[in-house]
Amino acid sequence: MKAGVIFTGSGPILILTTYSSLVGDDLAVKLSQKGIKKYIAYEVDVGLCAKRYGQHFQTIVKDVSQEADLRVLDYNGHNVFHLFSFNELGTPQYREIMD
């Protein structure tokens, strides 16, 4: 499982996913279907997410399937942006789906 902060046009969200890449075709198409066609992704440590989100994290993890799944852990951009320091974010990865 991967955790990622996804910066979209409306602000950051925090996701948990079983996809192998935050910018791979499968996840990009899934996000595109939700209206997110352009984003910057930063991988974050899953253990750090578990620590910061506690029981909410555990609830979301139970809902994530083993294959090809995505769940939003936090859609409050202000909260996501302030819960993680820049030092805790991985290398930025860029993805854009052109229509």
pLDDT (tens digit, 9 = 90+) per residue, 18-61?
999 999 999 999 999 999 999 999 999 999 999 999 999 998 88
The whole-number pLDDT of residue 66 equals 67
| Other CB atoms within 10 A of residue 41 CB | 25
Nearest to 48 by CA among 4, 13, 91: 4
Helix (H) or strand (E) holding 95: strand 93-96
pLDDT at residue 67 above 80? no
Nearest to 42 by CA among 98, 30, 83, 99: 83
C-alpha 71/C-alpha 94 separation (Å) is 20
pTM: 0.91
